[in-house]
Copies of this chain bind each other. A is one copy, B any other.
Amino acid sequence: MDEEISTRDRIINTATRLFQLQGYHATGLNQILKESNAPKGSLYYYFPKGKEELALECINLTEVLVEKTIREKLVKIDDPVESIRNFIEEIIGNTNLEKNEKLSLNSIKIVSVNLIALETSSTNETLRKACQSAFNTWRNVYTEKLLEGGFNKEKAETLGMVIESMVEGAIVLSLTTKSDTPLLKIAEQIPFILDQ
């Protein structure tokens, strides 16, 4: 009980949050260390290659964490159309599991690699590929659910990508407009889009 969170984990948790919230370039190592109450020496002890190695770890952990979250949500409802629609609606009120978040919109950003992906897509191949892997993994969860629901392979793959595009785009719009509406609207349209 009362298990201590290791310095390494505190660094990763804080870094993940800040990278996703502010971006890779706007987040300084000093800020990460201060907010995680970690000493500077420790950062380069656990991540000898520095900031990029830390960010890579953050992206990879987000990939598996979000994949797990999507799977858990989708498994709750058999019908793929209804389960996906329901999942998108739940993105909004979702991540208040983390206690210290005030705006639910910030919570949305914290389960996304959208910003880091765009920042690094033309300047850092290592991080770009990590984000690419995350997007592929998440898209694949939708595709699998559609396959289980009886869609043929080609349709399931295309629609998986369409859903992933819509979700990522609606996240951008919801964050930029500080409004739930984009996410709610695409959730509302899921039944029509998948009715093929």
Contact = CB atoms under 8 A, between A and B. Distances in A.
Nearest to A119: B23
Contacts of A55: none
Interface residues of A, number: 47
Given A109-B122, A122-B106, A189-B162, A176 B117 contact: yes
Contact of A121 (B175, B181, B186): B175
B23 A177 contact: no
B119 A26 contact: yes
Given A23-B118, A158-B189, A196-B192, A128 B165 contact: no
Contact of A176 (B106, B135, B166, B196): B135
Interface string A103-142: 0001001000011011101110000100110011000000
Interface string A154-196: 0000110110111111111101111001100110110011001
A32 interface: no
A69 interface: no
Contacts of A159: 189
Contacts of A37: none
B122 A22 contact: yes
A53 to B, nearest CB: 18
A25 B161 CA distance: 30
Contact of A26 (B25, B158, B192): B25
A100 to B, nearest CB: 15
Interface of A: 21-23, 25-26, 106, 109, 114-115, 117-119, 121-123, 128, 131-132, 135-136, 158-159, 161-162, 164-173, 175-178, 181-182, 185-186, 188-189, 192-193, 196
